[in-house]
């Protein structure tokens, strides 16, 4: 594929940082190398000596003095080698991508998304997505001055026929002509979408991928809830279908290991991953070495089998939470709202009957009732448009708290009608 046509002028102009190159070269060199090149501080001056971190289901993670010095020092911009090696193996085993992939570590998948958008989206470009969508995506895209085009979706995600209808505005044979305004990027959350909880079927993914081939688009597969799919076998990913090298995938450990450690990954064709790495070199330089080493030690001690056993436990917790929320919704909201039971993620997307817009209801009156949800408008391309939906998260509250929250919400809706 010709990736040059997808790059913004800013991304195409990025060059390797000579200092970053020297840092990474030094870290791959034998201990006998005497380097006067790096501007790294001397770790002997740092106040932290060692650490031991207890783990629920595995041996303690130990940072002796030598490991601690490494953990507190600069590291490679694409990630520490042992973490990358482990993750590449996991990606290949889970997705079996038909084309060669590369990866880099990002400071949460949000950093990866922001850098992908800045790499691929020019002012005035048409970008496809299925709204309602993650508000962080809208916050990253809208300042770039692009035209966000909504592709209709339902509980099973983006609707291929709707995508085809949107794309019919352009002639597929002319997308490479100078001045073509045909979209080059499609963004979607394929599993347990935030906020809707929607999950794309395999058939739909195949049809969307074929349309991307027809119009030579890249697909950003933003999949932070991949490991929170409640039913097995898990749905095949876009990455697993990618015979061309047109999928760029973002993964996150936030929902399954820790949101505060800020560990995410970008997976895709090397020419594109390299561009993300160049941006990292010039911005954050690298994700925290300490958190990378911490996660890497954990994953290597677990092995892939132990990791997937941990995932099973996380899934079981969220399945019970989802069931509790749906049960309470049936109990309190049946007459005043409607929803679909999500098959992944941590959200219930609720449409309030007879309420044209939930913004004031939630931001003013709901607080008086001491119940808080997210008004649906914040997930729309135009957040000022009336929206009858609210998003409820079942991740943190106890089943008892969820039940009481929905009792209060029911009372609130009935008073507003």
In whole angstroms, give the CA distance from residue 24 to residue 124. Answer: 37
Residues ≥6 apart with Cβ < 8 Å to 253: 261, 263, 264, 295
Find out whether 255 and 315 touch, Cβ atoms under 8 Å: no
Q: Which of 228, 230, 229, 148 lies closest to 188 in space, CA to CA?
A: 148
Classify burial at 385, counting beta carbons within 10 Å of its beta carbon; exposed 0-12, middle 13-18, buried 19 or more.
exposed
Which neighbouring-strand residues pair with 127?
Answer: 148, 185
> Both tokens of residue 187?
């963004």
In whole angstroms, give the CA distance from residue 187 to residue 158. Answer: 10
In whole angstroms, give the CA distance from residue 76 to residue 276. Answer: 13
Question: What is the pLDDT tens value at each position of the chain, 417 positions in all?
Answer: 999 999 999 999 999 888 877 877 877 888 898 888 878 899 999 999 999 999 998 899 999 999 999 999 999 999 999 999 999 999 999 999 999 999 999 999 999 999 999 999 999 999 999 999 999 999 999 999 999 999 999 999 999 999 999 999 999 999 999 999 999 999 999 999 999 999 999 999 999 999 999 999 999 999 999 999 999 999 999 999 999 999 999 999 999 999 999 999 999 999 999 999 999 999 999 999 999 999 999 999 999 999 999 999 999 999 999 999 999 999 999 999 999 999 999 999 999 999 999 999 999 898 889 999 999 999 999 999 999 999 999 999 999 999 999 999 999 999 998
Find out whether 244 and 219 touch, Cβ atoms under 8 Å: no
Q: Is 364 helix (H, G, I), strand (E, B) or coil?
A: helix
Find out whether 184 and 178 touch, Cβ atoms under 8 Å: no
Residues ≥6 apart with Cβ < 8 Å to 376: 132, 195, 349, 358, 387, 388, 389, 390, 391
In whole angstroms, give the CA distance from residue 402 to residue 404. Answer: 5
> Both tokens of residue 216?
């030579």
Q: Where are the beta strands (DSSP E) in 74-232?
A: 102-106, 126-129, 147-150, 153-154, 157-158, 185-188, 218-222
Does the model's pTM come out above 0.85?
yes
The conformational region for residue 100 under phi > 0 = left, psi -120 to 50 = alpha, else beta, is beta
């Amino acid at each position: 594929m010709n990736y040059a046509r997808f790059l913004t002028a800013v991304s195409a102009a990025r060059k390797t940082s000579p200092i970053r190159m020297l840092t990474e070269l030094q870290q791959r060199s034998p201990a006998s190398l005497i380097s006067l090149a790096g501007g790294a501080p001397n770790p002997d001056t740092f106040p932290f000596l060692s650490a031991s971190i207890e783990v629920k289901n595995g041996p303690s993670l130990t940072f002796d003095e030598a490991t601690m010095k490494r953990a507190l020092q600069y590291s490679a911009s694409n990630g520490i080698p042992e973490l990358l090696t482990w993750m590449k193996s996991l990606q290949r085993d889970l997705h079996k991508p038909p084309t060669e992939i590369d990866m880099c570590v990002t400071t949460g998948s949000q950093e990866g998304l922001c850098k992908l958008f800045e790499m691929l989206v020019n002012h005035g470009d048409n970008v496809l997505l299925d709204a309602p969508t993650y508000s962080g995506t809208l916050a990253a895209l809208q300042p770039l001055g692009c035209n966000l085009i909504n592709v209709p979706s339902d509980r099973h995600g983006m609707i291929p026929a709707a995508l085809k209808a949107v794309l019919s505005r352009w002639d597929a044979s002319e997308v490479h002509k100078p001045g073509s305004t045909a979209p080059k990027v499609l963004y979607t959350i394929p599993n347990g979408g935030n906020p809707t909880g929607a999950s794309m079927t395999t058939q739909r993914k195949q049809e969307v991928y074929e349309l991307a081939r027809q119009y030579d688009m890249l697909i950003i597969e933003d999949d932070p809830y991949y490991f929170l799919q409640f039913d097995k076998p898990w749905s095949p990913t876009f990455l697993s279908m990618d015979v061309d090298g047109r999928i760029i995938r973002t993964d996150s450990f936030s929902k399954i290991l820790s949101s505060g450690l800020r560990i995410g990954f970008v997976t895709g064709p090397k020419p594109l991953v390299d561009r993300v790495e160049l941006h990292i070199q010039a911005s954050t330089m690298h994700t925290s070495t300490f958190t990378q080493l911490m996660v890497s030690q954990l994953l290597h001690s677990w092995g892939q089998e132990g990791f997937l056993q941990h995932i099973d436990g996380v899934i079981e917790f969220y399945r019970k939470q989802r069931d509790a929320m749906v049960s309470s919704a049936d109990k309190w909201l049946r007459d005043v709202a409607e929803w679909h039971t999500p098959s992944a993620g941590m959200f219930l997307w609720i449409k309030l009957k007879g309420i044209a817009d939930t913004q004031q209801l939630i931001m003013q009156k709901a607080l008086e009732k001491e119940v808080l949800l997210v008004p649906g408008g914040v997930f729309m391309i135009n957040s000022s448009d009336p929206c009858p939906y609210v998003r409820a998260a079942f991740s943190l509250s106890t089943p008892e708290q969820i039940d009481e929250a929905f009792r209060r919400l029911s009372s609130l809706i009935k008073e507003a009608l």
